[in-house]
Amino acid sequence: MTACSPSVSNDAVPILLFNGSGTSPNDVKAVETVLKDSHLAYATVNSQQLNGMSEAQLMAYRLMIVPGGNYITIANSLTTGTATNIHNAVQGGLNYLGICAGGLLAGNAISNSPNLTLGARVGFYAEVNKGIHKAAVAIAGAGTPAMEHYWEDGPQFTGWGAVVGKYPDGTPAIVEGTSGKGWVILCGVHPEAPENWRRGMTFTTPATVANAYAATLIDAALHGTSLPHY
């Protein structure tokens, strides 16, 4: 279920999902599907609404999710004060899950970034430099078999957090760690991607299995739970 207003929250609506300017509507929908399948209540917030929220209103939630899209457009849709409020809310205990663009936004790379990595910059996975923009990418987990996920111009997170999953070249694809009192998980791939995103590509991991992993990431981010890591 979705709350109508992001300005009213309690334990019954623990998650704030950003769907503002720069986010991919398809990815917002994919994340919503995982949330609904997991029976997790959430509120959506667009750029204008988020710019109108105070630090205290943000901290009424347990988790903020920023999905994929264009991180520069997302950042430009937010005010400097909003970026500061997000930063301060996370320092105060709001958890954060950044998927693809949401992961890039968390890094100290652009203006209006909440800088949750506290100075560490976030770069792109090396396939971007080869002119590859969409792929089935095997992500190796600590002590678990590799799982193929949909990847589209996603980041890697060298220099911040504990590494939960690695790209084939060994760079961090999924990381976790604290930012102040908040628990932050950043993911460069799209485990939430539905089957229809996979057209024209071959995956060894079924979409249902990848989607279940997306639910695992959301649960860990919501509850501040550490996942197996290197």
Residues 6+ apart with CB under 8 A from 151: 125, 127, 134, 135, 136, 137, 188, 189, 190
What pLDDT was estimated at residue 111? 78
Tens-of-pLDDT digits for all 230 residues of the chain?
233 344 444 557 999 999 999 999 999 999 999 999 999 999 999 999 999 999 999 999 999 999 999 999 999 999 999 999 999 999 999 999 999 999 999 987 677 899 999 888 888 999 888 999 999 999 999 988 899 999 999 999 999 999 999 999 999 999 999 999 999 999 999 999 999 999 999 999 999 999 999 999 999 999 999 999 99
pLDDT in tens, 23-38: 999 999 999 999 999 9
In this structure, the strands spanning 162-166 and 182-187 are: unpaired
CB atoms under 10 Å from CB of 201, counted, come to 12
Give the whole-angstrom CA distance, residue 40 versus residue 97: 15
CA 107, distance to chain mean position in Å, is: 12
What pLDDT was estimated at residue 109? 65
Q: Indicate the pTM of the whole model.
A: 0.94
